[in-house]
Structure 1
Amino acid sequence: MATKLVQQPIPASHVIPPKPRATKIIKTLRLFSATHSRTKSPIFGECISSFRPIYFTKVAEQSPGMVEDETLAQAKTELYQAIQGLNRGIFGIPSAKKSEIEGFVKLLESQNPTPDPTLKLEKVGGCWKLVYSTITILGSKRTKLGLRDFISLGDFFQIIDVTKGKAVNVVKFSAKGLNLFNGKLTIEASFKISSKARVDISYDQSSITPVQLMNVFRKNYDILLGIFNPQGWLEITYVDDELRIGRDDKGNIFILERTGDNEP
């Protein structure tokens, strides 16, 4: 007669407890190394692997705000790299480079941390230095103004007094002659708020110092003012504590960085 085999119950002490559930914020993943020893299982009577665990920690994902801040910082870095060595674009740049710069400008404008700048003029006031503009001095204008050999352009500054509604543009020059001398063109203007992002600008007066430099530009002074005259309107499309971007009624783009509170 066939013998009836009865499987013995597994003692409770040998039952494997359930694994704890991983948390939602930080997950610990347990991976096993490829090299391991094989041992005899006292429970199942067969060979199983004796694994040496390796633990990796998965950090919680970044918040959307952190991602936006990183994107903004990266866009500013790439913008500064793109305008490096272009002499503010004043003597023209290749169209491909110009398009590249405008792409970074539009990206920054889409993430403007101050969407209503004229309501927060404290962020606009102070001294700024021009680092890029689509205004260009080319061909006969550059020749007439002596900007090919005799006259060199220095820094461009803009000082904004929000309490008085005044803006002063300063364009520095150096002239080569028997004695090298430095001078500047100063253009004063008034502005009035016309929208949450736009100001209307009117020309007040201008001057060139010293007199030697005025003598150089006197014949072509109208050309010089025609290039740098801020008359019209300006829309502030981006501004933070360090960088400001604007667009005017003539289609020009201006990129300026903050330098301090006093006139240079």
Structure 2
Amino acid sequence: MVHQLLNIKQELISISKASEIGFNNTPTTQEQIDRLAEQIEALNPTTEPTKHLELLQGRWRLLYSTFGLERDTTLQRLSFGKLPNVTVRVTGIFQEIYLIDQQYNNVIEFTVGSGVTGITLIKARYTVEDTKRLNIDFLEASTKSANNNLSESTFREALGVDNEVALESTLSFSGWSDITYVDEDLRLMRGNQKNLYVLVRDE
């Protein structure tokens, strides 16, 4: 069983990486990942994930999702309509989960046309619903430069927005997500919109 699990993990991670967060998804890729996900979920070594929240703690990189996010998108779409309608290119998506204050934050790295890099942070908080489900309360959306040496005025100029445009906003909606597989370095989640997420621990 251990050997079988390792083989499925390696194949799932490899195909998920090649999909580039799902941006390069094809019907064949989706079918392969769905099949592998179901197989690995059946072998989940952590049968009651929310009783082992220490396994979730830390920073995770999203390898694949069926969320439908586009590589070229806008800050507005990334922030549920709260941030300005500025076109950006997504380069990485991460999730940071910490037991302190029950943090459940999504971090989206992007570039704008000028080559400036930025980060959109979606702050949220989780509560445990049952042995595998987390309820998620979304609290705030914000964006900033990924370069600490870049001034806010220069970053705003790169985005094409003036000082009157807010780069942070409160959020007030909820969702849930089921942890369907978790070990030391791999996690699968299925959300309330029936989306599948494949994440690996970020070193």
- Match for residue 119 of structure 1 among 51, 56, 80: 51
Cα separation, 1, equivalents of 2:157 and 2:99: 30
Q: Which has the higher strand share?
A: 2
Percent identity of equivalent pairs: 27
How far off its partner does 1:151 sit? 3.1
In structure 1, the residue matched to 2:34 is 102
SS at match of 2:188: strand
TM-score, length of structure 1 as denominator length: 0.61
- Total equivalences in the alignment: 178
Which of 9, 20, 31 is the aligned partner of 1:87?
A: 20
Counterpart amino acid of residue 11 in structure 2: E
- For 2:157 and 2:178, how far apart are their aligned partners in 1? 32
In structure 1, list runs of 5 or more residues that go unmatched: 1-67, 219-224
Instruction: Select the residue among 207, 215, 221 that pairs with 2:142.
Output: 207
Of residues 88, 91, 96, the one that matches 1:154 is 91
Based on CA coordinates, which of the two structures has the bigger radius of gyration?
1
Say if 2:189 and 2:196, in contact at 8 Å, map to a contact too.
yes
CA RMSD of aligned residues (A): 2.9
* Amino acid in the other structure paired with 1:239: V
Listed one character per residue, the Cα deviations across residues 225-254 of structure 1 (whole Å, up to 9, x for unaligned) are 9xxx99400000000001000000101011
Shift of 1:209: 0.7
Distance 1:214 1:246 in 2: 37
Q: 1:169 to 1:217 in 2, by over 3 A?
A: farther
Where do 5+ consecutive residues of structure 2 fail to align?
77-86, 146-151, 162-168
Change (3 A) 1:240 1:214: farther
Within 5 Å, give how 1:1-264 maps onto structure 2: 68-89=1-22, 91=23, 93-137=25-69, 142=72, 151-177=88-114, 180-210=115-145, 211=152, 212=155, 216=159, 231-260=174-203
Partners of 1:157 and 1:127 lie apart in 2 by 7
Shift of 1:84: 3.4
